[in-house]
Chains A and B, each alone.
Chain A
C-alpha cells in the first residue's frame, strides 16, 4: 500500500511545483530591486521611491510599456469577449484573486471633452471616430490610482518593506510621469485636437470606459 500512495504524492508534488514562471519572476524582482536601489527588509530610511522611479522610468518602464501596449480596438474587443485572455495578453496582475488586471494599450484619437477644472484633470478621447468617447485619459497634475506601478511585471509588493513604501513608489511614478509626459500639455482649447497615448488602465469596471493613466502622450493639431 505504501508504494502507490507515495507515487501519487510525488506526482502531486511535481504538479504543484510546475508554475516555474515564479522563479523567473523572482529573478526579475531581484534585478528590479538591485536596479531600483531598494532592498526587501531594509529600513525605511534607505528607501528612496523618487530615485527608484527616476532610475527606472526612461531606461526600463517606458520601453517596457511601449513593447507591451496592445492596439486599443483589439484590446477592447478581447476584453468584451474574454477579460482574462485580454489580461493575459496585454495585462498583468501579481496574483490571481482579489485584484484586477492592469492593461497596457496604445491609441490615437480626438479629444471630445476636457475636464480641466479639477486638479485631477482628464480628457475624453474618441478612438473609433464615431464622435463619442472611448477612453478617459488622466492629464494631471494629480494622477489617481496605481495603474502605472501595477502593470509592471518586474515590480512586486514583495520587494517592498511594507504597503507604505509600495504606495510611495506608485505615487512617485505618477508624479514623475506627470512631470515628464504631461507638464507641457496645455490646459485650454484641447477639444478637437488629436491625442496619441501609450498608457495603462485597471480592468476594474467591465463595460465602463477605461480610465487611462498615460506613460507617453503626443498632442496633435485640430484638423
Chain B
C-alpha cells in the first residue's frame, strides 16, 4: 500500500479516488480532459478472440474514465517492444497486454516496470513472476481436458486423428496440448497420425490440413489448439468433401459457435476472454488508485465446454445466463 498518491495527485484526481468510497459513476465524464491513459496491446484483431479482448478492455477502461490506446503487435516481439516504448512515451498509467511470447516478453514488461508503468497480462503468461502486476489467464489445462473428453466421446473412443498445435513461443500451445493428451492418451484405440503447428493461423491451418489429408485420407477427427485453426481445418475438410471429420476447437468464438449450430465443427471450449479483459482493467484501475490490486499476481479463470447444447448461449466470448 502506497501513500504517495494522495500527496502528489491534484485535487480533481483526489476526488475521483475518494469517489471509490461510494459514488463513482458521475464524476468521470467531467474529467475527460485530464483522463489518464491505459494502453491495450494484443495480437492482431484478425482473430476475433483478440478483438474481443481489446473491446472488453477498452469499454471497461472508458467506463472507468480512462482514455485508451489500442495497439496490436501481430505476435512480433520486436514490434511489441516498440509498442511498450510508445505506451511509456505517451505516459500511460497502465498497460493491458496479451503478449507476444512467454520468454521474449519478460524484458518488455520489465522495461515498462522500470518506467513505473504497471502491466496487467491477459490470456498468455510470461515465464517470470514479479514483473507484471497481474497475469490473468484462462485455466487452459482444465479447458483442454473438457475439450478432449468431448472429443473422445465424439470419436467413440477410437479412430485416427490429427492434432493442430498453436504457436510454440506461447505457453498456451503447450498447456492445451498437454491437457488434450493427458485425456486422449488413455484411449489406446485413438491414434494420432499427424501433429503439426499451424501457429494459431486460419490460413496456415487450411494449407496444413490439405496436405495432412492427402497423406492420411483415413482420418476421423481433428483436435485443434484454437478456434481459428479449427476454422481453417474445417474449411479444408469441407473443400475436400470431408465434412464427416469431427473437428473440435478451443476459444469459443462466434464463428465456431455458428459452425456448431449449422452442424459443422462439433465443439469448442469457451475462454471467458471478454470478462478477463474487463477484470484486468478493473485491477489496473484499483492499482492506479490504491497501489494494490488486492489479488495475487497469477490468476486462473475456468473454461466452459461449448457444443450443440450450449452454443446458442454464446456471444462474444461470454455465456448468457
Contact = CB atoms under 8 A, between A and B. Distances in A.
Contact of B174 (A17, A164, A166): A164
A196 B127 CA distance: 42
A142 B302 contact: no
A163 B186 CA distance: 21
B14 A6 contact: yes
B140 A98 contact: no
A12 interface: yes
Interface stretch (B159-167, B205-213, B289-297): B289-297
A213 interface: no
Nearest to B296: A158
Contact of A1 (B11, B137, B299): B11
Contacts of A1: 11
Contacts of A152: none
Given A120-B186, A171-B182, A162 B300 contact: no
A67 interface: no
Given A1-B11, A41-B129, A97-B279, A9 B6 contact: yes
A146 B301 contact: no
A187 interface: no
B253 interface: no
B257 to A, nearest CB: 21
Contact of A145 (B17, B102, B145, B296): B145
B225 interface: no
B145 A144 contact: yes
Categorize the interface residue count of chain A: 35 or more
Contact of B302 (A41, A99, A158, A161): A99
A80 interface: no
Interface residues of B, number: 51
A10 interface: yes
A9 to B, nearest CB: 4
Interface in A104-119: 119
A10 to B, nearest CB: 7
B280 to A, nearest CB: 12
Interface string A158-199: 100111101110110000000000000000000000000000
A9 B7 CA distance: 10
B155 interface: no
B1 A16 contact: yes
Given A13-B1, A163-B171, A166-B141, A99 B6 contact: no
Contacts of B275: 98
A99 B302 CA distance: 5
A34 interface: no
B171 A164 contact: yes
Contact of A94 (B272, B290, B296): B296
Interface string A1-27: 110011011111100110100100000
Contacts of B18: 5, 8-9, 12
Contact of A16 (B129, B272, B290, B298): B290
Q: Please name the 5 residue pairs, one residue from A and one from B, whose CB atoms are nearest each other, closest first.
A: A98-B301, A167-B141, A163-B175, A9-B6, A8-B18
18 contacts: A10-B3, A10-B6, A13-B1, A13-B3, A13-B290, A16-B294, A41-B128, A95-B300, A98-B279, A99-B301, A120-B186, A144-B145, A144-B149, A158-B296, A163-B172, A163-B300, A164-B175, A168-B178
Given A12-B21, A98-B299, A161-B127, 12 more contacts: A1-B11, A2-B11, A5-B18, A9-B14, A13-B1, A97-B279, A98-B276, A119-B187, A146-B141, A157-B296, A166-B141, A167-B141
